[in-house]
A and B are shown apart, each in its own frame.
Chain A
Amino acid sequence: MKLRRILVPAQMTGRELGRRGFALGLLTALPLAFYGASSNTGSNAVITGGIAMAFSIAGASIFVALTARPVDQRLVLAGYRPYELLLGRLLLLEIFGVAVAAVFSVVMVFGTGPPHPWLLAAGVGLVALTSVPFGLAVGALSPHELEGVLVLIGVVGVQLTLQSTQPIARILPFWGAQRLLQHSVDGTVSIGAAVPSGLAYAAALFIAAAYIMHRRAPSVTFPRAR
């Protein structure tokens, strides 16, 4: 595998995404709006704002996956392997996610002043890390943008309304990040399983996205004509 076969799709994904400045601005403003609106609720604002960041990063990932779908078959027919395209997009989107997470961490650390600011940064980082494969998997499964966005709103919305101690919260993708964010402000929950849970979810979602993309790719192996 040549690194160029991953870096070039990453570069072109970055260019395409970067040219949607207005949409990116809206996506980034969304979690800030959640954080700002709940800032009078104390520690809850950090959890709400941090988890709502998934709207931005997973939303961008869904968009990238759905925009690329009509072209992907041609790219694979030309010689790319599906996982090379997916890894390129993952790389670019994770860079975007980490950048958004870094800015958002600074805003919330200075805005709320949590006792464990590094755990807040880790929680926001875990949201970013999980959001990209989540968005790529939803984008791979959804027939259109509307369905993808509805799934995103549903999953993140339910995660936002639940306490991390509730059993159903544990099966949602951002539970690990939710625990880290909660512990960063009140230190009331254990965080032993938080990072492994988030990483496992991210890995599973990426594998799901890769599997779906592989199934969609041109899969006919041609024997040579006589």
Chain B
Amino acid sequence: MPAAVSASSTAERLRPRETDPDRDNDRQLEASGISKWFGRRLVLDEVSLSVEAGEAVAIIGENGAGKSTLLRICAGLIPADRGQVRVSGRVGFCPQEPGLFDLLSADEHLALFAPALGLSRAKAIEDGHALLAEFAFPVAEYSQTRHLSGGARQKLNLALALLGGAGVLLLDEPYQGFDHGAYVSFWEHVARWKADGMGVVVVTHLLADVALVDRVVELTIPRAAAVGRS
């Protein structure tokens, strides 16, 4: 069961500074006072989020509450207008929309990511196959990603986020298109990643998911959004 469910107008506030230094050292992600405007629309207002090693956090909220934006800011893909993000270790990011080349195969994607991660091509493909096989991805079949089902594309998307290991995983609705078996397998993997010491953040719309994480952070649309930027 989740340890806490925040219903604040923004998000869970940072807890008071931990006094146990060992506990502090376990913090994998700390985003504090994050604000973001898109034009005149305030999307995030002083939002804070922290994730410890071996902890899974779900981010929930209505459409437009800024869940994906917060995750992209935490990944460093877009800058916050205010606030600070601190991470420990490599960030594994799985976007909501799979960022894939339509005309390349899964193996070619793994090979493309290999130099960036400091892996040999053979090692990246071997590790990638192992990750994909765990989610029942048809690794033996050659297929360009445009010919894959939505669920299979998402499995490749997730495998690319996991490839090379990560200190913190930022997963934006990572199981879209998964069948039931793959969905169950995903949460079994979350437990394993936690046991391996990773921090895991999952953006979700599914109420059932909140029972599977350690903590839930709820985002709501900031009230200032209705007024606009002054």
Contacts and interface: CB of A to CB of B under 8 A. Distances in A.
B29 A225 contact: yes
B115 A71 contact: no
B101 A222 contact: no
A41 interface: no
Interface residues of A, number: 29
Contact of A12 (B73, B76, B95, B104): B104
Interface in A7-23: 8-9, 12, 15-16, 19-20
B30 A15 contact: no
B118 interface: yes
Contacts of B86: 222-226
Nearest to B25: A226
Contacts of A16: 101, 103-104
A170 interface: no
A39 B115 CA distance: 48
Nearest to A70: B99
B111 interface: yes
A8 B124 CA distance: 13
Nearest to B51: A225
B123 to A, nearest CB: 13
A77 B112 contact: no
Contacts of B99: 70-71, 73-74
A220 interface: yes
A218 B111 CA distance: 21
9 contacts: A5-B116, A15-B104, A16-B101, A67-B101, A74-B160, A77-B76, A78-B164, A224-B86, A224-B88
Given A67-B101, A224-B88, A225-B30, 14 more contacts: A2-B115, A4-B115, A8-B114, A8-B121, A12-B111, A19-B144, A77-B91, A77-B93, A78-B113, A79-B117, A219-B76, A222-B85, A222-B87, A226-B30
